[in-house]
Chain A
Amino acid sequence: MSSPEQWTRPEPGAGPAATAAEPTPEQVIAGLRATTEGGAELTQLLNPEGERLASAHFDPYVSDIDAEALRGLYRDMVLVRRADREGNAMQRQGQLGIWVPLLGQEAAQIGSGRALRPTDMAFPSYREHGVAYTRGVDFKELLGIFRGTDHSGWDFQAHGFHPYTIVIGNQVLNATGYAMGQKFEGKVGDDDGEATIVYFGDGATSQGDVHEGFVWSAVYDAPVVFFCQNNQWAISEPTERQSRLPLYQRARGYGFPGIRVDGNDVLACLAVTRWALDECRHGNGPVLIEAFTYRMDAHTTTDDPTRYRLSDELEVWKHKDPIERVRVHLARTGGADQEFFDQVQADADAFAADLRDFCFNMPDPPPERIFANVYAEPSPVLEAQQREHLAYLAGFAEGGER
């Protein structure tokens, strides 16, 4: 009988081949444990109890994070969570068509986002509101997508933050191409090198686009960090539906390093992403990071997770909350007092109130928007369709009814 070890980490020739596709009971238990604990190779600097763990390899990457900087990361996460909750509320009130919550993934997003430099480029999927925030994108600019007033609003070049991508996996190839461009332009090779980071989920790792991104980036030594937020679920499908082995281990097969970080540990996410970006800047990319985290809310506001997962699971993960551990650490080490925490909460409430105010007053786009920018060059066909449609609408204005 094969051991759990073999199942989660098969080494060629290291044991007998598996005899059946059905896992043994030990394998099932090993798999379950892997889902809630992240396994022995999880990189962690701040555990759920708020204790700082030493790491010879990664400590240097966060040596600048003093109490003040940690308070900053804490504030980032609290603000982003508060805004995220407001997104849910506004959807319930009919102000947004849908909201895609990031609850539970604040550390993965703030930690990795804060590791980026202004010259770096980030390619998000659709849940990366926290990363958007670290790139200086105004949270208000995210709302149009979910309210249905636009497909993408921000200045992606100025912020180094590509438009959201909804088709699972597409952006991984696009990011790889962008990183190849950084390399081709000679922007890689020293401390000042550029890098690209791309975000995707555990489910996305099954898409051909993601595999091709791994292949391309390896072949062209592209300076790209693949940041996979393994939040354990792809809508109703657990990660075991996508892979037999921990996702970070896939990197090895493509010939580049993969690492699993505690996605609920903002300090570890910051350190590991800085390290990975550094590797890329110096020409040692790509790197795969699996941020082991948990989607604490529904997939989107239209999803009903009670149909496919137990609330026990959520209860377990609540003990590993990404914000709480920083709060405990700051309080215990004297890094922050109650006044600070109260102030952050007040700031977060004001941040959300401002967002809400903005959202309620967002105007609908004009119909001309439908026809604009389909092509870079003028389109007589679409200009004619627009003229015809506007004339049609004008007919109602005259007739008084539509």
Chain B
Amino acid sequence: MAAPVRSTADQPTSSVQNLTIGKALNLGLRAAMEADDKVLVLGEDVGKLGGVFRITDGLQKDFGEQRVLDTPLAESGIIGTAVGLAVRGFRPVCEIQFEGFIFPGFDQISSQLAKLHYRTQGGIKVPVVIRVPYGGGIGAVEHHSESPESLFAHIAGLKVVSCANPVDAYWMIQQAIRCDDPVLFFEPKRLYHSGALKAPVDTAAEPDPLFASRTVRQGSTATLVAYGPSVKVCLDAATAAAEDDLSLEVIDLRTLSPLDLEPVFESVRRTGRLITVSEAPSESSITSEIAARVQQECFYSLESPVLRVTGFDTPYPPSKLEEHYLPDLDRVLHAVDRALAW
């Protein structure tokens, strides 16, 4: 596991700062670039503009155009050249502007990025990170609100993670950059600048390992498993349920490939009920994978079938309809009721 990297940039007197997810990512990238001059940032509008979400704000100014590259407008180009740069010894961090625009680069991801290490019997490492703002709830036009993470988790050779809070955002991005495997790094865009999620980030702390799930709320009645933007939905649901004396356990998966399901199995053996929550369509997804493994590992502990609260198996709808499509507190609690009534 990668060791923590300390930021030396505008070092405050205390190592603790109160940050949003967006700012934590920004500082995490900065720390990684300071720690290793082979780390490059590349993508559309990541330079002067600082990215459309400002996650790379100020990086080009401080590290120069050789390390923060405003690329031509082509995702296959961004990812394909990142592979080449990695072969040459760099650690490129690609920004994809919105998840819906990653697909011109899908071939490079699946054919080269994911397979070079295997094809060369370990001869070539491709430590590329692809940052992908994902998820809905921002009232956007088409292709700006999707959750395609399962497509990447399905490809052997890629690692796929998602952060859900500022502390993880700060550390996970640095750990992903230090990882010798390619990492798809999914960022919950609607929470980037959420003041409600602001949290103290101790830049001198020892972070949790990258590829590990975490129990973020203890409970005994049922287990909720989520990742990225859905973790907050589940935590809110658990808080609401507590008023009705229901004790819900919430697990933040953090890593989608490899999956770290031991904490989930352990939890389900205690609660007997599992609800998985994700904005992605349910068919052939992370949530179906969890359901399959849990029924295999926890068959005799289950009091009800594993239920899934997800987007529908449709394209992402026009934004006036997204409140139906996205799992919310009510839909999660409805599933809890169904599980309890089984």
Contact = CB atoms under 8 A, between A and B. Distances in A.
B312 A148 contact: no
Contacts of B322: 148
A108 interface: no
Interface string B132-169: 00000001111100000000000000000000000000
A167 B106 CA distance: 14
A374 interface: yes
B70 A370 contact: no
Interface in A338-396: 364-365, 367, 369-371, 374, 381-382, 385, 389, 392-393, 395-396
B334 interface: yes
A374 B49 contact: no
Given A149-B318, A167-B100, A207-B104, A370 B73 contact: no
Contact of A236 (B70, B312, B324): B70
Contacts of A208: 74, 76-77, 104
Given A149-B318, A151-B318, A365-B320, A237 B73 contact: yes
Contact of A166 (B70, B143, B317, B318): B143
Interface in B49-91: 49-50, 52, 70-74, 76-77
B319 A97 contact: yes
Interface of B: 44-45, 47-50, 52, 70-74, 76-77, 100-101, 103-104, 139-143, 312-315, 317-322, 324-325, 330-331, 334
18 contacts: A97-B140, A97-B141, A98-B141, A148-B139, A148-B140, A166-B141, A167-B104, A203-B72, A206-B74, A206-B77, A241-B73, A307-B48, A367-B321, A371-B314, A374-B314, A382-B312, A395-B334, A396-B330
5 tightest Cβ-Cβ pairs between the two chains A and B: A148-B319, A236-B49, A206-B72, A203-B73, A97-B139
Contacts of A307: 48-50
Interface stretch (A1-9, A139-147, A320-328): A139-147
Contacts of A237: 44-45, 70, 72-73
A235 B52 contact: yes
A30 interface: no
Interface in A183-226: 203-204, 206-209
Contact of A370 (B48, B71, B76, B312): B312
Contact of B312 (A167, A209, A241, A389): A389
Given A167-B143, A206-B77, A236-B48, A402 B330 contact: yes
Contacts of A385: 312-314
A150 interface: yes
Contacts of A149: 318, 320
A168 interface: yes
B45 A236 contact: yes
Interface residues of A, number: 47
B128 to A, nearest CB: 19
Contacts of B313: 374, 381-382, 385
B73 A166 contact: no
A381 B77 CA distance: 38
Contact of B44 (A151, A235, A396): A235
A302 B193 CA distance: 15
Contacts of A381: 313
B97 to A, nearest CB: 9
Contact of A369 (B103, B142, B143, B317): B317
A97 B137 CA distance: 12
Nearest to A145: B141
Contact of B315 (A148, A374, A393): A374
